């Protein structure tokens, strides 16, 4: 098997497990789907909620310089004119002349071994023609042109130019337009940040790689405002935010540091607003790809909105009695790419006894279900009663706890392994008969089992799940 086929089959297995066990479904599936949209089932929701809660804890709750916001998805069209998105939020598009299928010109070049970084659409066009690159279906390609990725809509009952709005392509602008509200209501001193989790929409030319490149996805973003007068301090803050991003991946989500890569983005590839960008890439089964971004947006956005709205978005420094426009550093995270990274990294296969198994070795912090409780036998009321009592007590404490009495113990273990439950607790005859009741706790990754006193179970789990 070649490496490419290997990667493909790993992705196929992950996608099929995600569907079979209720993590992720194709959007609008019963109607044949809608490309680039995904629906999350109960386990996918739990996984994403865990990721979002860990993020909020690290970047908002554990700090005293962050202000949470939740801005509307629909915004005045002037926001997107001022931010530069109406004029320039585009990807290079090229069309198959026969099938009319559309592709990202940079992706086609990459597939032919050409690095398109820093190229203009005209340069890509020239190269495609020079090399005689054809579409994946073997047909001639048209000219490369820029395609704006914002979804356009109309607000209200009239469909004219004045009612145009867009589904936001990033959450960031919702924070810039609320900068003055935070200054006026909370009077923060620099440096401080605004944080937001919410949906973003991009009409991607070619959505692909499962949830990695979708048309509707969720972002977690921070706009961190700094005093530009001290350049060394700005650089220090930028680097500290990068370290926090990596700590979030490796410590909070349990992703291996060896799969996380830092990429200083060359000037030609940076977004129009960025003076420095560092992408964090991750080894997905389909290659090393962008997982997170970090951009030094300078005063670009606040100045652009000041000019366009004629509302002063400057900051008054009480200490020096000076007024200036703060600079902004933006760490940005994609919830869906993080969930995919966690899912893909967790996927593992081995044999338990003589049986092959597929399991998800999630870190307990992100596991959708933390503990499963079983009665040894389904038809012994005393066992079932004790198991349900144990289940309810653990559920009150840990929340994500499940009960299963279907099939034999081996089958129940397999089911929990497949969804990444770190611990299974079995209530057996000893539990109900012995004065010092004990349960069997089984570890997901090794299959090892140990006896734990029922009275100590909650403390035992608390320590292991921490
Ligand atoms: P790419 O180069 O992969 O298109 P980008 O550089 O355009 O990504 P940013 O504008 O930096 O992405 O967006 C911030 C984050 O939002 C990304 O790091 C990623 O996690 C997430 N993201 C962006 N586009 C998508 C998408 N189409 N589907 C899922 N997540 C996305």
CATH fold of 3-89+149-343 reads BirA Bifunctional Protein; domain 2 (3.30.930)
| Cα dihedral sign, 375-380-384-385 | negative
Residues of the chain with CATH 3.40.50.800: 369-465
Would you state the pLDDT for residue 3?
60
For residue 91, which atom of ligand 1 is closest to its CA? 4
Q: What is the DSSP letter of 406?
A: S
Give the nearest ligand 1 atom to 169 CA. 10
CA distance 346 to 349: 10
* pLDDT value, residue 432: 81
| CATH node for 369-465 | 3.40.50.800
CA 334 – ligand 1 centroid, Å? 7
pLDDT < 70 regions, the chain: 1-8
Q: 292 alpha carbon to ligand 1 midpoint, in Å?
A: 8
Q: Are 315 and 303 in contact (CB under 8 A)?
A: no
- In this prediction the pTM is 0.94
Q: Whose CA is nearest to atom 29 of ligand 1?
A: 213
Three-state secondary structure of 61-104: HCCCCEEECCCCCEEEHHHHHHCCHHHHCEEEEEEECCCCCEEE
Ligand 1: which residues within 6 Å by Cβ? 202, 204, 213-214, 217, 219, 290-293, 332, 334, 336-337
Q: In the prediction, which pLDDT does 401 show?
A: 97
Instruction: Give me the pLDDT at residue 7, please.
Output: 63
- Output the pLDDT for position 1: 47
Task: For the chain, give every residue range classified as CATH 3.30.930.10.
Answer: 3-89+149-343
Cα(222) to ligand 1 centroid in Å equals 15
């Amino acid at each position: 098997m070649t490496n490419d086929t290997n990667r493909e089959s790993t992705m196929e297995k992950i996608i099929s497990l995600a569907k079979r066990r209720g993590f992720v479904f194709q959007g609008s599936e019963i109607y044949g789907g809608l490309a680039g949209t995904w629906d999350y089932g109960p386990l996918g929701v739990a996984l994403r909620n865990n990721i979002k809660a860990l993020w909020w804890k690290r970047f908002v709750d554990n700090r005293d310089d962050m202000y949470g916001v939740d801005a509307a998805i629909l915004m005045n069209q002037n926001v997107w004119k001022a931010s530069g998105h109406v004029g320039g939020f585009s990807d290079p598009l090229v069309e198959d002349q026969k099938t009319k299928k559309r592709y990202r010109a940079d992706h086609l070049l990459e597939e032919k071994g050409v690095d398109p970084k820093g190229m203009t659409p005209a340069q890509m066009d020239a190269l495609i023609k020079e090399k005689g690159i054809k579409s994946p279906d073997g047909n001639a390609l048209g000219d490369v042109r820029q395609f704006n990725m914002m979804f356009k809509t109309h607000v209200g009952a009239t469909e004219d130019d004045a009612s145009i709005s867009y589904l936001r392509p990033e959450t960031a602008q919702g924070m810039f337009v609320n900068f003055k509200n935070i200054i006026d209501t909370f009077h923060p001193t620099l440096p401080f940040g605004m944080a937001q989790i919410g949906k973003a929409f991009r009409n991607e030319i070619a959505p692909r790689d499962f949830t990695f490149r979708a048309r509707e996805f969720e972002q977690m973003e921070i706009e961190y405002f700094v005093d530009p007068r001290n350049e060394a301090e700005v650089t220090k803050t930028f680097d500290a935010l990068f370290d926090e991003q990596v700590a979030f991946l490796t410590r909070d989500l349990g992703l291996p540091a060896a799969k996380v890569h830092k990429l200083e983005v060359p000037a030609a590839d940076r977004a129009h607003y960025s003076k420095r960008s560092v992408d964090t890439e991750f080894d997905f089964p389909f290659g090393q790809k962008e997982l997170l971004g970090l951009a030094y947006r300078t005063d670009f956005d606040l100045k652009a909105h000041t000019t366009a709205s004629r509302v002063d978005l400057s900051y008054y420094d009480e200490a020096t009695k000076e007024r200036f426009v703060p600079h902004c550093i933006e760490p940005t995270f994609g919830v869906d790419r993080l969930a995919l990274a966690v899912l893909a990294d967790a996927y593992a296969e081995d044999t338990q006894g003589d049986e092959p198994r597929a399991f998800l070795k999630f870190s307990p912090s992100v596991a959708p279900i933390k503990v499963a409780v079983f009665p040894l036998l389904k038809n012994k009321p005393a066992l079932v009663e004790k198991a349900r009592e144990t289940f309810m007590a653990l559920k009150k404490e840990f929340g994500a706890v499940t009960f299963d009495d279907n099939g034999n113990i081996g089958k129940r273990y397999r089911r929990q392994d497949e969804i990444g439950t770190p611990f299974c607790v079995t209530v057996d005859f000893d539990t109900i008969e012995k004065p010092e009741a004990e349960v069997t706790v089984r570890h997901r990754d090794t299959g090892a089992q140990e006896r734990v006193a029922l009275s100590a179970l909650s403390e035992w789990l608390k320590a292991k799940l921490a």
